[in-house]
Amino acid sequence: MIRIMVVILLIIFLPGHVQAQQKIPILIYHSIDQYNGHGSKELYVTPENFEKQMTYLKQHGYTLLTFERWQEISKFKRPIFITLDDGYKNNRNAFQILQRLTDDHFKPTATFFVISDFVGQRNRLSQSELKEMAATGVISVQSHTATHPDLTKLNDLQYELKSSKEKIEKMTGKPVIAIAYPYGYFNERVGSEAKKYYSFGLTTTPEIFTNKGLNNELLFLPRIYIKYSTSIDEFAELINK
């Protein structure tokens, strides 16, 4: 009888415990290109290095997910999320690399967080490009607000949160359920407003996510920067902490 009770208790409590301890790296990139002398060099990752990093994930049993599949993370031994902010045209390099690495056993995906009102501008992805990539299932297109302001300094957040969501959904024909806060800036009010339109909010708090059971923690997800200077050994160390 005691053994039966122990088994029942394990069935009830173990899955939740395992999920709570699961480590989920969420990586943040910006430009996937050779550094051209403009802007911050550390916000670039060369296509060669990006491919080496994605190949490392492939060879070490990682599953690359998008936020539409968040509820599935407990099914995988090594789930990981690849995110790219700002919607630069050079993000097509990431898309093409992920396509090249795709095979019957490895189906990598990534999330592009785009600024809705900057789409189609010089050096930014166009509506047709976003729709094309979203249609493949390799790329999930989500919101990085409408105009990329510091949300903590705005009185009215509706345009930045609601309008950007609606515009991106119209561009891709896909749901927008996640937002990356510009500059990683957030507070409780920003999270509370974001919750009206999104299921996930992403910061730049530099750590690996673990489910702590905190209130609204999916609206304040941490991310790990991958930089121009990040070596493959450092990359491996960052995601295996």
pLDDT attached to residue 21: 78
Is the per-residue pLDDT at 53 higher than 60?
yes
**Quick one: pLDDT band at residue 70, thresholds 50, 70, 90?**
very high
Amino acid at 32: I
Residue 15 belongs to some domain of the structure: no
pLDDT attached to residue 5: 45
| Both tokens assigned to 92 | 């097509």
Q: How many helices (H) and strands (E) does the chain have?
A: 8, 12
Q: What is the pLDDT of residues 214-227, one digit of tens each?
A: 889 999 999 999 99
Pairwise CA distance, residues 38 & 163, whole Å: 30
Long-range contacts of 6-9 (CB under 8 A, 24+ apart): none
Domain count, the chain: 1
Q: What is the pLDDT of residues 113-170, one digit of tens each?
A: 999 999 999 999 999 999 999 999 999 999 999 999 999 999 999 999 999 999 999 9
pLDDT attached to residue 10: 43
The DSSP bridge partners found for residue 124 are 88
pLDDT attached to residue 3: 53
pLDDT attached to residue 62: 98
* Contact partners, residue 182, CB within 8 Å, separation at least 6: 144, 145, 148, 149, 150, 151
HSE toward the beta carbon, residue 67, CA cutoff 13 A: 25
Is the per-residue pLDDT at 230 higher than 50?
yes
Q: What is the pLDDT of residues 6-31, one digit of tens each?
A: 344 444 444 444 444 799 999 999 99
Residue 10 belongs to some domain of the structure: no
pLDDT attached to residue 214: 87
The mean per-residue pLDDT over the stretch 217-240 comes to 98
Residue 193 belongs to some domain of the structure: yes
pLDDT attached to residue 167: 98
Residue 153 belongs to some domain of the structure: yes
pTM, full prediction: 0.91
pLDDT attached to residue 241: 84
End-to-end C-alpha distance for the chain, whole angstroms: 41
Pairwise CA distance, residues 67 & 24, whole Å: 12
pLDDT attached to residue 157: 98
Note whether 184 and 205 are within 8 A (CB): yes
DSSP state of 137: T
Residue 18 belongs to some domain of the structure: no
pLDDT attached to residue 145: 98
Written as one string, the DSSP assignment of 79-125 is: EEEEEEES-BTTHHHHHHHHHHH--SS----EEEEE-GGGTTSTTB-
Q: Which domain holds residue 203?
A: 23-239
Residue 12 belongs to some domain of the structure: no
Show the CA angle centred on residue 79, arms to residues 71 and 56, nearest 5°.
160
Residue 16 belongs to some domain of the structure: no
Q: What is the pLDDT of residues 177-192, one digit of tens each?
A: 999 999 999 999 999 9
Residue 32 belongs to some domain of the structure: yes
Exposure b/e, 174-206, CB count within 10 A at least 16 = b: bebbbbbbbebebeeebbebbeebbbbbbbbee
The percentage of the chain sitting over the pLDDT mark of 90, rounded to a whole number, equals: 88
CATH of the domain at 175: 3.20.20.370
Dihedral angle computed from the Cα positions of residues 114, 116, 122 and 127, in that order, rounded to the nearest 10 degrees:
90
**Quick one: pLDDT band at residue 106, thresholds 50, 70, 90?**
very high
